[in-house]
Amino acid sequence: MRRSGSVHRQLGIAALLALLALVGCASTHAPPVGPHNIILFIGDGMGVSHVTAARVESDSLNMERLTTGGLLATHPVGSFVTDSAASGTAIATGVSTKNGVISMSPTGAPLKTVLEHAEESGMATGLVVTCSITHATPAVFVAHVPSRDDDALIAEHIAAGGVDVLFGGGLGYFLPASVSGSLRKDDRNLLYEMEGEMTILRTEEEFDELLGRDRSDGERVAGLFYRAHPPVEYERAPSLARLTAGALDILAGDEDGFFLMVEGS
């Protein structure tokens, strides 16, 4: 078991280092290497077998137009079947951890994420999801907590995390317990804490208005459109495609480039 864990940690670290090489190093005078912007698309629960099934059904996939591919081991420490917390941590940090753990090592040490590396390099950052923004996959890029089930604590990490664009659900975890619709057990108002630094959106109409007006460079936006998880695709608005396009429109204004994670949750 130790050897297996070491191997897949090395695979994860190698994959992360390859990604970080694209980000470049802000501490040197050498010109940046690789693309100016990085977009990471995640299909929730998707693996090689799912891609194969989709290819059989549709004959060809847009992702097959990419000229480079690779594999990342995402199985957890101490178990055979992974969950979104452990697999997401492997993707975001290059290190394997236990199921249920958000970007912390098996011994409880915080693990630096690719989003945090991007922020250090001066890049703008964004998370776009079709679940609560506090759910395991988005959480692993910005939070460091021992349990994926602690949405209220994850929300606190996200509120203080400095991400420039946040689109998804989970509004209730940012509202104090005294307010209708809150999912917190305390009276901390994270939206109030965020409003001084971010434009807060709660409705599709506010989203449309934001994209339809001139915005200052560097404007940060949090769109929390549902109390918890958004509904199924045909009942959900704005759609994932529109949220992604909106995030790209906002982040593209950063001259240092951006890192964006988009999850079909």
Residue, of 252 and 10, whose pLDDT is higher = 252
DSSP state of 63: G
Which pLDDT band holds residue 33 (cuts at 50, 70, 90)? low
Query: Which one of 6, 49, 84, 265 is the catalytic residue?
Result: 84
Q: Residue 94 sits in a domain of what CATH number?
A: 3.40.720.10
Q: Tell me what pLDDT residue 218 has.
A: 79
Q: How far is CA 17 from CA 45, 87, 94, 95, 264, in A?
A: 23, 17, 8, 11, 25
Range of the domain at 118: 2-264
Tokens of 29: 């005078």
**pLDDT category of residue 32 using cuts at 50, 70 and 90:** low
> What is the model's pLDDT at position 242?
97
Give per-residue pLDDT as tens, 135-165: 999 999 999 999 999 999 999 999 999 999 9
Tokens matching residue 225? 């459109």
Structure confidence at residue 71 (pLDDT): 87
Catalytic status, residue 182: no
Token code pair at residue 150: 């602690």
Q: Which are the contacts of 212, defined by CB distance < 8 A and separation ≥ 6?
A: none
* Cα distance between residue 31 and residue 258, in whole Å: 16
Query: Closest by alpha carbon to 140, among 175, 164, 110?
Result: 110
pLDDT at 1 over 60: no
Most confident of 54-58, 68-72, 190-194: 190-194
Alpha-carbon span 126 to 115, nearest angstrom: 8
Reading the block at residue 195, the tokens are 């409003």
Nearest to 173 by CA among 110, 131, 113, 205: 131
Model confidence over 120-142: pLDDT tens digits?
Answer: 999 999 999 999 999 999 999 99
Stretch 50-69: mean pLDDT, rounded? 90
Instruction: Tell me the pLDDT band of 223, cut-offs 50, 70 and 90.
Output: very high
Do 105 and 90 touch, CB atoms closer than 8 A? no
What pLDDT, on the 0 to 100 scale, is given for residue 11? 39
Residue percentage of the chain with pLDDT more than 90: 75
Mean pLDDT of 47-73: 89
**Mean pLDDT, the chain, whole residue set:** 88
Q: Give residue 31's pLDDT.
A: 56
Number of domains composing the chain: 1
Give pTM, 2 decimals.
0.86
Position 258 scores a pLDDT of: 97
